[in-house]
Structure 1
Amino acid sequence: MSTSILKDPSLIEFLELTEEVRSLCHRVLSLPSSDATQQARDRRTAMTYLTRLRQLNRSAQLQSRAAKQTTAEAKQELDRAHLELQNLYYEHQHFLSEIAQCEDYAATYITLDLASEEDFLSSHPEQPSSDPHVLMLARIQAEGDERDRLEVLRKELIAKKAALVEENKKRKDEMEAWDAEMLKFIESAGPIKKTLMKY
């Protein structure tokens, strides 16, 4: 396996030692059984290599655990940042929705039949401000005052109408009573009329 893509020196050493142990094992297996001294020497070398491989393996496992821990911590931080970003996005969308609702809100004052600015200013020359907002508030206040005045007048007229209706009813009753009296008088005058007709 090519070690050109690896950057960690312990991994590079591990791969190189693995290759050497493999070569050594092939050499030990290919030696004639009569060369016991070389076999023993190669076995000791292989055992040394295997011990070093175990050390490197243990070191790699510890590094792997540390890398996993670091990765987990980084992932937690990334997840927290992502959650905050999502919250900001939803908050942003909520604000945009609220702004759209405010912009689409049909305020009551728009539908009011207010006096024009010219008419208002001519009837209220004391109005000090030409600020459109202050002027609109003053026009709305003047419209409210006028409607209150008209409401009081309407109630007075209703009361006056009720009084007139009551008086008319009383007079009608009186007239009906007079009509009844007149009919009685005419009926009672019938004999007098006959008597007078004789003369």
Structure 2
Amino acid sequence: MEESVEALRRLAEHCVNSAGKPDVQDTTTQGLLILLKIKEESRRLAFTAEDQREETSRFKTRLEQAHLQLQNLLYEKEYYEKEIHECQSFQFKHPDSAIGLVPVEQFLATASPEVLARIGDDPHTLMLEQLRDELTQRKAQVAKLEELRKVKAATRQEVDTRKRTLDALQQQLQGLEDSAKPLQTILAPHLSLRGFARSADLLPLPLYIVYSQLAAVREALGLPIRVAILGSSVEAESFAKAQTLDPTDAAMDGGSGMTASVEGAAAAAEPAVKQARLSPALPGLSGGAQGATASGAGTSASSSSEDLYKVHPLSVLLEVQRENNGRLQTIISVKFQYLVNLRLVTAHSDMRDDNLLLAALFPGDDGSATAYESLAQLQGGTFKYDTSRPAKPYRWCQHLAGLDFAPPLPLATQLHNSTGQGQLDASSVVLEGLDSYRRQQRAIHVIERLRAVKTGDEALK
């Protein structure tokens, strides 16, 4: 094809470049022959291209069929793998662990010879026999369970019958109690203390004495007062459980010099015994004994200020009332609180003017707690009660709670030092010496020395 085109190009150049007149007939004949040859080559190439196209189409069809077959095989492979995985991970509705079959050894040891003969070496038959034996045992257990359920139903019916009988008896007892109330009112007109607040059992012993005595006075004498217990009973229960009575503290409390005198405590003897276990204070206080020894401030000198002034969750509220136009009106209210670590009873009022009245209630009792020697021993003999606090430990509060403190100096010495103006300097010297005595902690040093000597002596023995 390329040679024919090149020959046609040379013939055309010869005709153009010929100097003379070319032979047109020969040139035309040669050109036509070349064109026929080119046309023949072109037709042959067209047929060859068509054959190649048909062959390509056939190969393409075969390739598509092979690709489609490959995809089908891959899909089948994935499907079979999925089925194999599902079969391998198939979860039975009742797996062996859930059925709880007996071990094979135990089953074979208890199986009959006929069953062993049927089993042979076939594991499938072994599993069927195990399941059959388990079914038999469970049917027997279900029958036994049904019998027990019948017994339970009969017992429950009997219990319900007895419960109805007890309920009817309770109603009869309630009616009997209601019928006896008039007789109880005639025979004991002042026994309504029986309905005292349930949280009274959670009060510390000094506050319980204040509450019980005020309530008894109200009921016995009909005084126009109101007594109530304030605070959270839940917190008081938690506080009572957390408090433990240390025998060492109890021994120290016995020699602190504070005495508890409870006047008329026979009416509250039982609650007092109860509170001796709940309250960390006053372990030596007895409901029927006057002048029993107790401690007012047995805490250690290392206690922080907040710990020293820690208040019990419960308090006692006293409202003094008077009649006004046929109605009772509160004229003053006093709230009694108990300082757990200082073991003192404080009193204050929500009204500022009433607090001034409380400070002037008894001469010489301003609530500064200067007369309590057990408090003066705290913090190395430098402890002073914070008088900026609204609640103050008045001496009349301690007396009302059954607590009496021994004075720092004998009463005769105090009277002797206050007989005349000439003795004021001597009194000041005595008080300064007492203050120095406290700071030196002589009593503590002597006690610790005695303990160390005794301990060493026992170690040598």
Task: Tell whether the structures are fold-level matches, with TM greater than 0.5.
Answer: yes
- Given candidates 95, 101, 109, the residue that maps to 1:109 is 95
In the alignment, structure 1 residue 159 sits paired with structure 2 residue 145: no
Gaps of 5+ in 1: 1-13, 184-199
Q: How many Å apart are 1:116 and its aligned residue?
A: 0.9
- Counting helix residues as a fraction of each chain, which structure ranks higher? 1
Percent identical = 24
- Given candidates 140, 144, 150, the residue that maps to 1:149 is 140
Cα distance change on mapping 1:41 and 1:141 into 2, 3 Å: farther
Alpha-carbon distance in 2 for matches of 1:141, 1:53: 96
Say how many residue pairs are matched: 165
Q: How many Å apart are 1:79 and its aligned residue?
A: 0.8
Give the structure, 1 or 2, with the largest relative contact order (CA under 8 Å, sep 6 or more).
Answer: 1
Q: How many Å apart are 1:31 and its aligned residue?
A: 2.7
1:151-196 per-position Cα deviation (integer Å, ceiling 9, x unaligned): 33323321232123224444x269659x79xx9xxxxxxxxxxxxx
Give the letter aligned to residue 87 of structure 1.
Answer: N
Q: How many Å apart are 1:86 and its aligned residue?
A: 0.8
Gaps of 5+ in 2: 174-461
In the alignment, structure 1 residue 94 sits paired with structure 2 residue 79: yes
Alignment of 1:1-199 (within 5 A): 14-32=1-19, 34-37=20-23, 40-107=25-92, 108-112=94-98, 113-125=100-112, 126-127=115-116, 128-129=118-119, 130-170=121-161, 172=162
1:88-146 per-position Cα deviation (integer Å, ceiling 9, x unaligned): 10220221122123223344424232111111112223132222233223323433443
RMSD: 3.0
1:40-64 per-position Cα deviation (integer Å, ceiling 9, x unaligned): 4233212112122112212322332
Alpha-carbon distance in 2 for matches of 1:84, 1:28: 64
Alpha-carbon distance in 2 for matches of 1:86, 1:140: 46
Alpha-carbon distance in 1 for matches of 2:135, 2:95: 11
Q: 8 Å contact 1:109–1:140 — kept in the other structure? A: no
Cα distance change on mapping 1:74 and 1:144 into 2, 3 Å: farther
Tell me the TM-score normalized by structure 1. 0.66
Q: 8 Å contact 2:15–2:22 — kept in the other structure? A: no
Alpha-carbon distance in 1 for matches of 2:143, 2:14: 119
- Counting strand residues as a fraction of each chain, which structure ranks higher? 2
Give the letter aligned to residue 134 of structure 2.
Answer: E
Structure 2 residue matching 1:115: 3-state secondary structure: coil
Cα distance change on mapping 1:18 and 1:154 into 2, 3 Å: farther
Give the letter aligned to residue 54 of structure 1.
Answer: K
Q: 8 Å contact 2:4–2:38 — kept in the other structure? A: yes
